[in-house]
Structure 1
Amino acid sequence: MDQVRVAAWASDPIALAGLIEHLRSCDEIQVVPGQRRGEAAVLVFAASRVTPDVKAALRAAASETPAAIVLVAGHVEAEELPELAACHVAAVLPREAIAGDKLVKSIVAAATGRESSLRDLLGQAQSLQHAAGGAALSPREVDVLRLMAEGWDTAEIAGKLCYSERTVKNVIYGMTNRLKLRNRPHAVAYALRAGVI
């Protein structure tokens, strides 16, 4: 199989460097420089959110080249999908997909012309929002959840984190109430599914 020519774009230079390095490590992909993105079969865009700047970059890329776009984002609103589809976005993936093979599979699928319909993009965005549920947890909540998962009680968690017991109870109450979790085990299960612990 021929290598897929891919150009990368990211909302910040550090993310771009990491994305390019990862793409270069994949045998199925040949990375072309951003200034030559017109030669790419697929463009990979990485951003934490779909901001006006990201939309402008997507529109500019779509006007320069007919290449399919794979968007890796932390969050995408359903209302943005028609605009994304108009910009040749063929797949919407969570940021965690960069480390896995799902990104490569999506790039190969986009290069072979298997574009996603608006319904497919909606499903991808919904799974992205579900996977981003861990983003709803603060660092303090994650720390408490990690210790809860290890079996520590409220007093022990308070001692390890140098909080008062009341603070720990407030963190747990606020988190379970906000996320509509039934109890502490349900909170730990939620955090495990979200991949934060």
Structure 2
Amino acid sequence: MDQVRVAAWASDPIALTGLTNHLKSRPELLVVPRARRAEAAVLVFAVGQVDREAIAALRAASAESPAAIVLVAGHVDPGHLGLLADCHVSVVLPRTALDRLTDSVLAAARGRTTSLRDQVDALAHEGTTAALTPREVDVLRLMAEGWDTAEIAGKLCYSERTVKNVIYAMTNRLNLRNRPHAVAYAVRAGVI
């Protein structure tokens, strides 16, 4: 099996170390150092969001090498699609999807990827659902069924205070007005 040459870039040194170690752990991939980035078939960029620094790095990398780019990001503005395409970005993954990174790198190396628009839309959807913790989803499902605080606490083996804290923290973090608004948010996010 031929290894795919890959290089890594991240917006901070800790993320770069983690990304590089993850890539090195995969036998299908051969990580090349930054000085030899032009030899890579695929470049993996990890950023919180596509900001000026990320855009400058993407432009520099695409000018230096024709390699396909896998962008791992927390948020991508759909308005940046043209820029991403110009910079050889062929895959956009959420930061929470490291389990799909190797397959994405291999697909990018082969030139087999879906449209960037579909990937950015999926990233936006995953970002919405990731905003809710599993505990919050459990509470929301029971709220949607019409259960009150005491019933939810009994069903989930939490105290009533814990259930109230979960609801309060979630509604404040997501700027939701009340419990029905929280349930509607979860429905629109596709988690219940």
How much has 1:148 moved relative to structure 2? Answer: 5.9
Of the three residues 128, 131, 136, the one matched with 1:133 is 128
Matched residues in 2 for 1:189 and 1:116: separation?
25
TM-score (norm 2): 0.76
Contact kept, 8 Å, 1:149 with 1:188, in 2: the verdict is no
Matched residues in 2 for 1:149 and 1:179: separation?
8
How much has 1:115 moved relative to structure 2? Answer: 5.7
SS across alignment from 1:96: coil
Matched residues in 1 for 2:47 and 2:66: separation?
21
Matched residues in 1 for 2:42 and 2:63: separation?
14
Give 1:131-170 correspondences, 5 Å limit: 131-137=126-132, 144-145=136-137, 154-155=149-150, 156=153, 157-160=159-162, 163=165, 167=168
Matched residues in 2 for 1:111 and 1:42: separation?
6
Contact kept, 8 Å, 2:69 with 2:90, in 1: the verdict is yes
How much has 1:36 moved relative to structure 2? Answer: 1.7
Change (3 A) 1:92 1:148: closer
Deviation digits for residues 110-139 of structure 1 (CA, Å, limit 9, x no counterpart): 222x1657xx000011011101113545x8
Matched residues in 2 for 1:3 and 1:65: separation?
18
Change (3 A) 1:170 1:62: closer
Change (3 A) 1:2 1:188: closer
Q: Which residue of 2 aligns with 1:71?
A: 71
Aligned length: 179
SS across alignment from 1:177: helix
TM-score (norm 1): 0.74
Q: Which residue of 2 aligns with 1:195?
A: none
Matched residues in 2 for 1:179 and 1:104: separation?
36
Contact kept, 8 Å, 1:6 with 1:29, in 2: the verdict is yes
Identity %: 46
How much has 1:173 moved relative to structure 2? Answer: 5.2
Contact kept, 8 Å, 1:66 with 1:88, in 2: the verdict is yes
How much has 1:35 moved relative to structure 2? Answer: 2.2
Matched residues in 2 for 1:127 and 1:178: separation?
22
Matched residues in 2 for 1:179 and 1:150: separation?
10
Q: Which residue of 1 aligns with 2:191?
A: 190
SS across alignment from 2:74: strand
How much has 1:77 moved relative to structure 2? Answer: 1.7
How much has 1:154 moved relative to structure 2? Answer: 2.0
Contact kept, 8 Å, 2:69 with 2:91, in 1: the verdict is yes
Matched residues in 2 for 1:145 and 1:109: separation?
33
Contact kept, 8 Å, 1:148 with 1:188, in 2: the verdict is no
Task: Establish whether residue 59 from structure 1 lines up as the match of residue 59 from structure 2.
Answer: yes
How much has 1:65 moved relative to structure 2? Answer: 0.9
Deviation digits for residues 34-65 of structure 1 (CA, Å, limit 9, x no counterpart): 22211111100011211111010000000111
SS across alignment from 1:18: helix
Task: Establish whether residue 33 from structure 1 lines up as the match of residue 46 from structure 2.
Answer: no
Deviation digits for residues 57-88 of structure 1 (CA, Å, limit 9, x no counterpart): 00000011111111111111211011001001
Segments of 5+ residues of structure 1 without an aligned counterpart are: 192-197
